[in-house]
Amino acid sequence: MEKAKVRVSPKFQVVIPKALREELKIEPGQELLMYSLDGSLRLVPRRSIKELRGIAKGLRWKDEYRDHTERF
């Protein structure tokens, strides 16, 4: 896990250091999702639906995981 120190510009901009851009494969113009969590800012590369396809493949689900009491 790469760490870097950055400075916030007067326009509230930050530069993502090269090592982190390369590690996360961030490209110019790519959209990132930004949110706060537990007092920190998180930047997450936005993933397309095609990239997410099959992400849960192979997970084992048991019938008792489902809540059968709330049926409509």
Using CA atoms, how far apart are residues 60 and 55, in angstroms rounded to an integer?
A: 13
pLDDT given at position 36: 94
pLDDT of residue 14: 94
Give the pLDDT of residue 67: 66
Report the pLDDT value the prediction gives residue 25, as an integer from 0 to 100. Answer: 87
pLDDT in tens, the chain (72 residues): 778 899 999 999 999 999 999 988 899 998 999 999 999 998 888 877 776 677 677 777 666 666 667 666
Give the SS3 label for residue 52.
Answer: helix
Residue whose token pair is 């090269």: 18
Q: Cα 60 vs. chain centroid, distance in angstroms?
A: 24
pLDDT at 48: 72
